[in-house]
Amino acid sequence: MLYSLSCQHEDWSADVRGSPSDLALLELSTPVEFNDYIQPVCLPEYQHQDFYPEDDCWISGWGDTKGSAFSLTD
């Protein structure tokens, strides 16, 4: 799948441990055909809300969720 435009987080650096700004957006060159494995992300409408340490938060993505002494190969 090819993309026509990419935008990565301005603070991203491969040298920063834990990759706190590991985020990018891609614009695809062609439309996606949805199927059982490819589905759109459903985003809620904007609501101003404060978050607290005891609040549950759900994330989605690829990669490590905990730090490790081992590095992954390409």
Q: Give yes or no for residue 6 having a pLDDT over 80.
A: yes
Helix (H, G, I), strand (E, B) or coil at 20: coil
Is the model's pTM score more than 0.85?
A: no
What's the rounded Cα separation, in Å, for the pair 30 and 43? 22
11 or 18: which carries more pLDDT confidence?
A: 11
- Please provide residue 8's backbone torsions phi and psi, each rounded to the nearest 5 degrees: -105, 160
* Contact assessment for residue 36 and residue 42, using Cβ atoms and an 8 Å cutoff: no
In this predicted model, what pLDDT tens digit does every residue of 21-63 receive, in sequence order? 778 888 989 998 999 998 888 877 877 778 788 888 776 666 6
What's the rounded Cα separation, in Å, for the pair 25 and 74? 20
